[in-house]
Amino acid sequence: MNIEEMRDISLKEFTTLHIGGICRHCYFPKTEEEIFYLLDHTDPLILGCGSNVLINDETVLENALILTKFNRIRKEGNTIVADAGARLMDVCLFALDHDLTGMEFAYGIPGSVGGAIMMNAGAYGGEMIDIIKSVKTTVKDYTKEQCEFGYRHSVFSDSKECILQGTFQLKKGNRNLIAMKMKELIEKRIEKQPLESYSAGSTFKRGQDFYASQLISECGLKGYRVNDAQVSMKHAGFLINNGHASYRDFMQLIEDVQRKVFEMTGKKLECEVKIIGGKDDLRK
Ligand SMILES: Cc1cc2nc3c(=O)[nH]c(=O)nc-3n(C[C@H](O)[C@H](O)[C@H](O)COP(=O)(O)OP(=O)(O)OC[C@H]3O[C@@H](n4cnc5c(N)ncnc54)[C@H](O)[C@@H]3O)c2cc1C
């Protein structure tokens, strides 16, 4: 099997936060067959678009499987079936091209189908749970109910299964209205989020009775920094990398923000970003 591979490459190139260590074997499978083969022969880190991860840069990772070239998208009636590595943005554009409505909310989330399902990604009042019909993994097919979607969580968050495909249940809609909604939401993002900086989106989850960004802002932490890791001035929920932040800088920033917010408000901020290769990494 001739699977595309890069050797001894920094994983920061494959993350939106631009932090990560060396990976000995980085594979880019294009088919299910290649994915099954790699999972049979390695125990890899699985990545989609790397837009929700903070990867330790002090350790060397043996194998990573980057799914962005496993990215077919097709239509079946009013459903769209997309491979795990397809970019959510491309699936949204595909839906627009076929006059299908329901997933406009996801336009602007810079993740893959697999990463979005795993996280139950959502924005502006919509979440994956609203549009997923079924999910295929390397182990079995799941109905929506079996996915156990919760806030930024799914049954896959605690498993080592590789998501292969998602089927999205959409409805026939009006192309102009769909396009208008997508444009409106992207403009909101450009206005509110620090899209010009390296980040992994909102670093912390929303709490039961609070928005992390609001608490961080109220605690006077906008702009607070540890070397090149900084709380964004534009959106306090985004911790950003100004260019040369290390894993250690970023972890220190996360811990400082959590501690200061707890001291001032009594609220605990829980990380939404997946920390890979650190002491809390579930894969260890
Ligand atoms: C600027 C910006 C804005 C964002 N806005 C939002 C937003 O509005 N809403 C939101 O919910 N999120 C947002 N995010 C976060 C992120 O885009 C989402 O969580 C996205 O769904 C992650 O997908 P990914 O492919 O990048 O996942 P990755 O970062 O590649 O992976 C995330 C986790 O999923 C696992 N994983 C990935 N693919 C698979 C697979 N096929 N099978 C099994 N496990 C897999 C990885 O191992 C990792 O643990 C934003 C991020 C950025 C940088």
Q: CA distances (Å), 78 to each of 101, 148, 161, 164, in order?
A: 9, 23, 27, 20
166 C-beta closer than 6 A to ligand 1: no
CA of 143 to the centre of ligand 1 (A): 21
Supply the pLDDT for residue 160.
87
Average pLDDT of the chain to the nearest whole number: 96
Q: Which atom in ligand 1 lies closest to the alpha carbon of residue 200?
A: 53
Report whether 14 contacts 54 (CB < 8 A): no
The pLDDT of residue 206: 94
Q: Is the CB of 219 under 6 A from ligand 1?
A: no
Q: What per-residue confidence (pLDDT) applies to 279?
A: 64
**Is ligand 1 within 6 A of the CB of residue 20?**
no
Q: Which domains does the chain have, with CATH numbers?
A: 5-69 (3.30.43.10), 73-190 (3.30.465.10), 194-276 (3.90.78.10)
Q: Which residue has the tokens 């930024």?
A: 152
**0.75 exceeded by the pTM?**
yes
Name the closest-CA residue to atom 36, ligand 1.
115
CB distance 110 to 190 below 8 Å: no
Spell out the per-residue pLDDT of the chain, length 284, in tens: 899 999 999 999 999 999 999 999 999 999 999 999 999 999 999 999 999 999 999 999 999 999 999 999 999 999 999 999 999 999 999 999 999 999 999 999 999 999 999 999 999 999 999 999 999 999 999 999 999 999 999 999 989 899 999 999 999 999 999 999 999 999 999 999 999 999 999 999 999 999 999 999 999 999 999 999 999 999 999 999 999 999 999 999 999 999 999 999 999 999 999 999 876 554 44
**Does residue 102's CB lie within 6 angstroms of at least one atom of ligand 1?**
no
Residue of 35, 63, 109, 275 with the most ligand 1 atoms within 8 Å of its CB, for mutation? 109
